[in-house]
């Protein structure tokens, strides 16, 4: 049954995404950036609904008051990254226009990439770290001035449930350079949509939004450490069994 539902979901995306993208590209010339974003978010909201109805993937948000209390502030969101689920869900669920930082190769994906290009997000060349860092800094400042929130995954790539990679400092350094505050986010979406997996499993995704962390008076390293500490501690609160299982596996391998 899980395989059948996952297949039906894949077919839904295959049909729905190009149709929505064509509609977006047709109406975008008549819209401002903010209106384009709200229009595109209809795709994200629809996909979340289909995931819940078809695949049994529900979600719960904790700590939304931290975001609602910071709507007038320049914010950089630094989030755990386990799945494709959160990249879809955040646009549908978070209260401000998000500006993702992503590799420029995604712009070359038919329909999906074309719409992303029209949303003025931050795309970088990951093959050149120096150029990428400069691009994030310059584009990030511009987007923050426009009132958007910057969205980064400091681990750099999706991680397996119960694990984590050392957090990259780029997002924290951008925050200290611009004076933006940081909001950390933890979640367990890898439980229902594991990285690089076709199957989608029914279950509850818990999104836990942390308190605002000011960048003032901190170095990029200090801010990054504070973010990593909060997220990884919170991960063990919302998904304790994942880390117990990981610890047992590591112990058996020694």
pLDDT in tens, 85-135: 999 999 999 999 999 887 777 777 777 777 877 777 877 766 656 566 666
Give the per-residue pLDDT at 205: 98
State the virtual CA torsion across 27, 29, 32, 37 in degrees, nearest 10: 50
Nearest to 88 by CA among 69, 110, 116: 116
Buried b (16+ CB within 10 A) or exposed e, 20-51: bbeebeeebeeeeeeebbebbbebbeebbebb
Average pLDDT for residues 152-156, to the nearest whole number?
92
Quickly count: other Cβ atoms within 10 Å of residue 72's Cβ.
8
Give the per-residue pLDDT at 109: 76
Average pLDDT for residues 42-50, to the nearest whole number?
96
Domain range annotation of the chain: 2-253
Nearest to 20 by CA among 50, 51, 46, 53: 46
What percentage of the chain exceeds 70 in pLDDT? 91
Average pLDDT for residues 136-160, to the nearest whole number?
89
pLDDT digits (tens, 9 = 90+) for 23-40: 998 998 888 888 999 999
Going by pLDDT thresholds of 50, 70 and 90, the confidence category of residue 247 is low
Cα–Cα distance measured from residue 186 to residue 211, given in angstroms and rounded to the nearest whole number: 12
Comparing 186 with 141, the larger pLDDT belongs to 186
Going by pLDDT thresholds of 50, 70 and 90, the confidence category of residue 142 is confident
0.85 exceeded by pTM: yes
Give the per-residue pLDDT at 244: 82
Cα–Cα distance measured from residue 108 to residue 24, given in angstroms and rounded to the nearest whole number: 17
pLDDT of 136 higher than 70: yes
Average pLDDT for residues 235-245, to the nearest whole number?
90
Give the per-residue pLDDT at 84: 93
Going by pLDDT thresholds of 50, 70 and 90, the confidence category of residue 55 is very high
pLDDT digits (tens, 9 = 90+) for 198-208: 999 999 999 99
Q: What mean pLDDT is reported for the chain?
A: 89
Nearest to 150 by CA among 173, 128, 130: 173
Cα–Cα distance measured from residue 234 to residue 226, given in angstroms and rounded to the nearest whole number: 12
Architecture of domain 2-253: 3-Layer(aba) Sandwich (3.40)
Give the per-residue pLDDT at 172: 94
User: Can you name the residues that pair with 151 across neighbouring β-strands?
Assistant: 77, 100
Nearest to 112 by CA among 92, 87, 78: 87
Pairing label, strands 203-209, 181-187: antiparallel
pLDDT of 80 higher than 90: yes
Find out whether 208 and 62 touch, Cβ atoms under 8 Å.
yes
């Amino acid at each position: 049954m899980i395989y059948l539902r996952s297949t039906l979901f894949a077919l839904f995306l295959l049909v729905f995404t190009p149709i929505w993208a064509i509609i977006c590209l047709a109406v975008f010339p008549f819209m401002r950036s903010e209106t384009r974003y709200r229009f595109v978010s209809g795709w994200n909201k629809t996909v979340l609904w289909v995931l819940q109805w078809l695949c049994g993937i529900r979600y719960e948000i904790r700590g939304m008051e931290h975001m609602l209390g910071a709507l007038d502030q320049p914010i950089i969101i630094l989030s755990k990254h386990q799945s494709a689920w959160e990249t879809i869900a955040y646009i549908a669920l978070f209260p401000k226009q998000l500006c993702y930082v992503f590799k420029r190769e995604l712009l070359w994906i038919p329909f999906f990439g074309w719409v992303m290009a029209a949303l003025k997000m931050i795309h970088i060349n990951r093959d050149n770290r120096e150029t990428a860092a400069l691009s994030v800094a310059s584009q990030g400042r511009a987007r923050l001035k426009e009132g958007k929130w910057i969205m980064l995954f400091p681990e750099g790539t999706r991680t397996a449930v119960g694990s984590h990679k050392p957090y990259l400092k780029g997002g924290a350094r951008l925050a200290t350079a611009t004076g933006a505050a940081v909001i950390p986010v933890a979640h367990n979406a890898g439980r229902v949509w594991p990285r690089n997996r076709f199957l989608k499993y029914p279950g509850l995704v818990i999104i836990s939004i942390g308190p605002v962390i000011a960048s003032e008076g901190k170095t990029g390293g200090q801010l990054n450490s504070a973010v990593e500490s909060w997220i990884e501690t919170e991960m063990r609160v919302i998904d304790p069994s994942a880390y117990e299982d990981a610890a047992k596996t590591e112990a058996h391998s020694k």
